[in-house]
Amino acid sequence: MLKPGDTIGILGGGQLARMMTLAAAPLGLKCHIFAPEGDNPAFDVAAARTIAPYDDIEALEAFARSVAVVTYEFENVPARTAEILSALVDVLPNPRALETTQDRFIEKSFIRNLGLLVPDFLPVDSVESLMAAVATLGRPSVLKTRRFGYDGKGQAMLKPETNLADAWSAIGQSPAILEQFIPFEREVSVVAARNAAGALVTYDVAENRHAHHILAETTLPAHISDETERAAKEAASRIGSALDYVGVFAVEFFVVGTGKQEQLLVNEIAPRVHNSGHWTLGGAETSQFEQHIRAIAGWPLGSVKRVGRIEMHNLIGSDVDRWQDFVTEPGLYVHLYGKAESRPGRKMGHVTRVLP
Amino acid sequence: MLKPGDTIGILGGGQLARMMTLAAAPLGLKCHIFAPEGDNPAFDVAAARTIAPYDDIEALEAFARSVAVVTYEFENVPARTAEILSALVDVLPNPRALETTQDRFIEKSFIRNLGLLVPDFLPVDSVESLMAAVATLGRPSVLKTRRFGYDGKGQAMLKPETNLADAWSAIGQSPAILEQFIPFEREVSVVAARNAAGALVTYDVAENRHAHHILAETTLPAHISDETERAAKEAASRIGSALDYVGVFAVEFFVVGTGKQEQLLVNEIAPRVHNSGHWTLGGAETSQFEQHIRAIAGWPLGSVKRVGRIEMHNLIGSDVDRWQDFVTEPGLYVHLYGKAESRPGRKMGHVTRVLP
């Protein structure tokens, strides 16, 4: 169990690391950020920084020795990095969560084995296997690299007219899966936290709207039945326990059908704090960031009570230029990430309205 | 007007600077802390630090040139320091607020000149003038140094049996005032914020209980009439405007009399964020720390709406050893200051209960 004054190591220096660091401070915990050269806004709020590549063994070992626990803000932590750190210090969530979620094929197989629904999928490792998979799953369907995909990167939609060799090239001819296309009614997610004692809490289900594959807006409550809300939380709970997970994670779902036919398919698991949980800053009694820190510190989890109806908007690229409007709106929760440069598609901040 | 990405300079590295820095981050503003060698918990969350004495001209000038505005966490900023900085950069609140509040005689004269009630007081600069003052104000009365008093330091109670020469020695024979002893019903305070455009907001009146001259507990609402609540806010408003104040300040009052006789006497003004406003973290829609940052950044002030009944407890010295109890209590807002060492009388953190 960590105690006030201890230092948490965080891999990654982006906004998620920054918000975790800001949440750790009131708990009396310091953060040491490990990130490669670049625009690392978490550095501005952290007690210590290491600037080094993720494969710098010497830097990783010094980092591991300087902290009480290591966590991360992104799921693509190299396996070797996690291994080097794990030899010296607790890495939480445990590296098994990374292994399971870094590879879409392993991830979806894991989820299906828990008895949860996922879109049908098949592994693809060549144009030939892609053709065979398309013969089974039909079109439209979605070709996704097994690894390193996020915000729609590494994906290609296969339409009736798509040339399969072109699609295979488009995703870089990397090991992939072909996934059944799901004409969903809506996308929802559950942010959950679990601690080493096995206590697990789930925030209310969030409804997410994406634009250009990037989360644009999260609203709560989600437009789903109470039964579906319960099922989503139960699915997250089952996933967290099966991974022996410690920390915050998110499960994204497709909602298909309506009324009595409403059903959930798991889309993916994010083994980290998640953009669809940013509303918890100001919108819940404990933010997902504090919750993650509590979980990895071995402390009791906080209250997940939602304090109102929620509308969270991401500020993407030049959206942040409207900051004066946001800081003028009474009661609006404004969170800017302190990034040096705004680029199209870059997450620059978010704002949350909490309505009675 | 500051814009996101700009840096705020803060004189002082204690918990108030730390909480201001944590509040600046979500607004996209960085902080640079200037403080002498020592245990400076604000360093752990700030983008930049200067470790130097407050009379190091070279360090002050470099600091002033690296920031967009300077503010401070304590009222005893040396006049010369404020002067050096003011020549190069805006210092907010303006140095006049410091001059007025650093000297109890000037402060009380200023308040009385605004038509507000203060305990009767007389200047004292020798045993002879102390004897004369006692002859006028009687006993019990309170001898207080004009400068550098806080948390009861630099004060002596004159009881019927007190030897006046001893009392004069006890406060270091410094220029002082003798103040009428006020047998108050309760102590209350108002935290207010004013921006350069003259907009002024006041939080609800807080009731404060001190132990050993250190704030122990703040509760809201205060046990005062609506009329007294309005009068306290009105007094704070008059003080803020008269000082052409920009930033957050607190006004402490004694409440005397009950029922129709209830009356306020101003005890003192703190030209900074204030311990009796810590409840606003989690207990108001905008914390006093964010409010201060907004004010000195030239931004619109935030909502001061209180979200429930409030109980704020300071964690003094070894109180912080009970941190496990605090992080276990559901819904309790816990804020630890990250100080390296706990000493008797040292403010180590605070906890706030927000009740429906």
B252-298: per-residue pLDDT in tens?
A: 999 999 999 999 999 999 999 999 999 999 999 999 999 999 999 99
Question: What distance in Å separates residue B239's CA from the closest CA in chain A?
Answer: 25
**B184: CB partners within 8 A, 6+ apart:** B254, B255, B256, B265
Query: What is the per-residue pLDDT for B151?
Result: 67
Query: What is the per-residue pLDDT for A148?
Result: 83
Residues of B in contact with A4 (CB under 8 A): 320, 323, 336, 338
B115 assigned to some structural domain = no
Same domain, A258 and A160: no
Flag whether pLDDT at B63 surpasses 90.
yes
Q: What digits encode the pLDDT tens for the residues B199-211?
A: 999 999 999 999 9
Q: Out of B43, B305, B349, whose CB is closest to A28?
A: B349
B283 assigned to some structural domain = yes
Q: What digits encode the pLDDT tens for the residues B80-117?
A: 999 999 999 999 999 999 999 999 999 999 999 999 99
Is B331 part of the contact surface with chain A (CB cutoff 8 Å)?
yes
Residues of B in contact with A43 (CB under 8 A): 47
Hey, are the CB atoms on A45 and B46 less than 8 Å from each other?
yes
What distance in Å separates the CA atoms of residue A227 and residue A208, rounded to the nearest whole number? 19
Burial of residue A147, with CB atoms counted within 10 A of its CB: 0-12 exposed, 13-18 middle, 19 or more buried: middle
A115 assigned to some structural domain = no
Q: Nearest residue on chain A to B302, judged by CA atoms? A: A330
Could you give the C-alpha distances from A42 to A35, B13, B25, in angstroms and in order?
Answer: 9, 20, 10
B276 assigned to some structural domain = yes
Pairing between β-strand A214-220 and β-strand A206-211 as defined by DSSP bridges? antiparallel
Phi-psi region of B328 (alpha: psi -120 to 50; beta: other; left: phi over 0): alpha
Same domain, B84 and B216: no
Same domain, B225 and B316: yes
Query: What is the per-residue pLDDT for B177?
Result: 97
Hey, are the CB atoms on B338 and A46 less than 8 Å from each other?
no
The residue length of chain B stands at: 356
> Greatest CA separation found in chain A?
60
Is B47 part of the contact surface with chain A (CB cutoff 8 Å)?
yes
Is B303 part of the contact surface with chain A (CB cutoff 8 Å)?
yes
Same domain, B224 and B274: yes
Same domain, B330 and B234: yes
Query: In the Cβ-directed half-sphere of A314, how many Cα atoms lie within 13 Å?
Result: 23
Burial of residue B291, with CB atoms counted within 10 A of its CB: 0-12 exposed, 13-18 middle, 19 or more buried: buried
Q: Nearest residue on chain A to B19, judged by CA atoms? A: A26
Query: In the Cβ-directed half-sphere of B278, how many Cα atoms lie within 13 Å?
Result: 30
Same domain, A136 and A86: no
Is A28 part of the contact surface with chain B (CB cutoff 8 Å)?
yes
Q: Nearest residue on chain B to A327, judged by CA atoms? A: B300
Of B133, B162, B180, which closes a domain? B180
Q: Which of B301, B324, B327, B347 to mutate to test the interface with A (most CBs of A within 10 A)?
A: B327
B108 assigned to some structural domain = no
Same domain, A173 and A199: no
- Identify the CATH number of the domain in which residue A349 sits: 3.30.470.20
Residues of A in contact with B330 (CB under 8 A): 302-303
The residue length of chain A stands at: 356
0.80 surpassed by pTM: yes
Hey, are the CB atoms on A323 and B25 less than 8 Å from each other?
no
How many CB atoms within 10 Å of residue A38?
A: 10
Task: Please give the residue range of the domain that contains residue B304.
Answer: 186-355
Two tokens, residue B230: 């309005």
pLDDT tens for the 356 residues of chain A, in order? 999 999 999 999 999 999 999 999 999 999 999 999 999 999 999 999 999 999 999 999 999 999 999 999 999 999 999 999 999 999 999 999 999 999 999 999 999 999 999 999 999 999 999 999 999 999 999 999 999 876 677 899 999 999 999 999 999 999 999 999 999 999 999 999 999 999 999 999 999 999 998 999 999 999 999 999 999 999 999 999 999 999 999 999 999 999 999 999 999 999 999 999 999 999 999 999 999 999 999 999 999 999 999 999 999 999 999 999 999 999 999 999 999 999 999 999 999 999 99
Same domain, B332 and B190: yes
**A100: CB partners within 8 A, 6+ apart:** A106, A107, A110, A243, A269, A271
Of B136, B164, B180, which closes a domain? B180
Residues A72/A11, Cβ–Cβ less than 8 Å: yes
Backbone φ, ψ for residue A248 (5° rounding) = -95, 140
Amino acid (one-letter) located at A75: E
- Residue found under tokens 């009950």: B258
Flag whether pLDDT at B150 surpasses 90.
no
Same domain, A337 and A191: yes
Query: What is the per-residue pLDDT for B95?
Result: 92
Backbone φ, ψ for residue A181 (5° rounding) = -80, 130
Is B322 part of the contact surface with chain A (CB cutoff 8 Å)?
no
B35 assigned to some structural domain = yes
Same domain, B317 and B215: yes
- Identify the CATH number of the domain in which residue A139 sits: 3.30.1490.20
Q: Out of A4, A27, A300, whose CB is closest to B328?
A: A300
Hey, are the CB atoms on B3 and A323 less than 8 Å from each other?
yes
Same domain, A349 and A298: yes
- Identify the CATH number of the domain in which residue B64 sits: 3.40.50.20
Question: What distance in Å separates residue B95's CA from the closest CA in chain A?
Answer: 27
Q: Nearest residue on chain A to B44, judged by CA atoms? A: A47
Give this complex's ipTM: 0.95
Domain tally for chain A? 3
- Average pLDDT, rounded, for chain B: 96
Q: Find residue A72's DSSP bridge partners.
A: A11
Q: Out of B27, B285, B336, whose CB is closest to A27?
A: B336
Query: What is the per-residue pLDDT for B48?
Result: 98
Residues A292/A193, Cβ–Cβ less than 8 Å: yes
The sign one gets for the Cα dihedral B310, B314, B318, B323 is positive
Residues of A in contact with B44 (CB under 8 A): 25, 30, 46-47
Same domain, B208 and B343: yes
Residue B134, H or E segment: helix B127-137
Residue B180 binned pLDDT confidence (cut-offs 50, 70, 90): very high
The residue among A179, A210, A180, A184 whose CA lies nearest residue A263 is A184
Hey, are the CB atoms on B327 and A299 less than 8 Å from each other?
yes
SS percent in chain A: helix, strand, coil, step 5:
35, 30, 40
Hey, are the CB atoms on A26 and B335 less than 8 Å from each other?
yes
Q: Out of B303, B328, B334, whose CB is closest to A331?
A: B303
